[in-house]
Amino acid sequence: MKNVSGDGGVLISIGEARRLLVELGVYPVWSDSMGVKSYSLLVKTSRGSVFIDPGAAALQPGFPLPSDVKKMLRVKAVGEIAGHLLDTDYIVITHYHHDHFLYPSDKDLGNPYIYRGKTLYVKDPNRYINKSQWGRSRVFLSELLSLAGSSLEEYLCEPLTTVFPDPVEELEYAHRRDYGGYALRRRELLLKGRRWFESLRGSWSSGGWIREPINLDDGTSIFFADGRTFSIGDTRLEFTKPLFHGIEYDRTGWVVSLWLEKKNYRLFISSDLMGPIIEDYTYMIIDNKPDIVFMDGPPVYLFPYMMNRINLNRAIENIKLIIDSQPLFIVYDHHLLRSPRWRGFAGEVLDYASKKGVLITTYAWLKGLDNVADNVSGSSR
């Protein structure tokens, strides 16, 4: 099902978007617009519930809220996530950043056995992963195995391959873009990034892989999700191959995003593509014709120090192309809402979507709340 096209077209309301998500059994849980770093989503299927990215982290020190309020919001978010996890049958972890998963030992979680007896689809911890996430994935899996009376050492193996194609070489549209005066600097950064990738490729080839599937005595099962498809009752989960977390050779590593199909609707659920910034990811989304898009916006709170104007413009141009493809609506949240000035950067996108008849919303708006970033000092409305 698609939206009515073009200027002057019928704009789906937030209320209608909310009702459609309920009809599909899709429930936004927590996100940055609600005052905590998170992009957690609950999906109810005919064979049980799926929780996507059950994680939460306090907003960055520079966000204008008192630190005790940030901590309180994080505790509240983890409490709600834990409540859903108790009744969840399947869990998706798209990558190992702290706002996308919780260690069993997390003191705010309160129940280390909360993953017990569930099926987990997780980002492959062996390849297309940076060093910090390599370590976090092993701490996470070690805790799960220990609670079931097992150990990670029982599942260690030699690398299954030493061939890791460079994903930048597979990009087409990103290389075609006219970067103007930034082209030389871009080439320098890509060369530096290539060296970083080569060092990781050496690490992935050196051993210490974790084999899967992992089937524990307590009923917990763990599968690596990258590039695979799983059917759960009336719902289909199709995971992408590993994608850069932001720009090409982004040092924060790789993520998997996913397509969710249910009741003849197709949803794209981004996991930290930051815009998307990379043009090829934009066309991947457009070519798959989503009805609903969950997209994390660019991290404008890092502008201009860790995100430059060129890449910010890429993200804005790319989301406008997705708007042109006429999804019913776009949930535009996560990194974008970490800045009280987010509207100053995204205003062009909001205006463009309105003209094209495509609703842009956030988790907070879907829940009938104000965005936390709109109610703090420094916000521009």
Go through 201-230 and write b for each residue having 16 or more CB atoms within 10 A of its CB, e for each that does not: beebeeeebbebebebeeebebebbbeeeb
Tell me the pLDDT tens digit for each residue of 139-176.
Answer: 999 999 999 999 999 999 999 999 999 999 999 999 99
The reply to whether 336 falls in a domain is yes
Q: Is residue 81 part of a domain?
A: yes
Domain membership of residue 271 (yes or no) is yes
CA angle (22, 237, 102) in 5-degree steps: 80
Closest C-alpha to 206, from 150, 146, 131: 131
The CATH number of the domain where 70 resides is what?
Answer: 3.60.15.10
- In 3D space, the residue among 248, 241, 211 whose CA is nearest the CA of residue 94 turns out to be 241
Whether 92 is covered by a domain: the verdict is yes
Whole-structure pTM value: 0.95
Q: Is it the case that residue 374 has pLDDT exceeding 50? A: yes
Q: Is residue 3 part of a domain?
A: no
Residue 22: pLDDT over 80 = yes
Place of tokens 């708006």: 365
**What's the total number of domains in the chain?**
1
From the CB of residue 176, how many other CB atoms can be counted at a distance below 10 Å?
A: 9
Give the pLDDT confidence score for residue 5 in this predicted structure.
35
Assigned domain for 380 exists:
no
283: its two tokens: 């066309």
pLDDT in tens, 262-312: 999 999 999 899 999 999 999 999 999 999 999 999 999 999 988 999 999
Residue 302, in any domain of the structure: yes
Token readout for 100 is: 């996308």
Could you tell me if 322 and 3 are in contact, meaning their C-beta atoms sit under 8 angstroms apart? no
- Are 14 and 23 spatial neighbours (Cβ–Cβ below 8 Å)? no
For residue 334, give its domain range: 14-375
CA–CA gap between residue 349 and residue 354 (Å, rounded): 9
Residue 254 contacts by C-beta under 8 Å, 6 or more apart in sequence?
95, 123, 128, 129, 130, 242, 243, 244, 245
* Average pLDDT for the chain: 95
- Mind listing the pLDDT tens digit for each residue in 89-136? 999 999 999 999 999 999 999 999 999 999 999 999 999 999 999 999
Quick check: 3 pLDDT over 70? no
Q: In whole angstroms, how far apart are CA 34 and each of 73, 329, 363?
A: 9, 19, 7
pLDDT the model gives residue 7: 44
* Sequence-distant (≥ 6) Cβ neighbours of residue 337 within 8 angstroms: 31, 32, 33, 297, 362, 371, 372, 373
Examine the pLDDT at 49 and tell me if it is beyond 80.
yes
Per-residue pLDDT tens digits for 234-252? 999 999 999 999 999 999 9
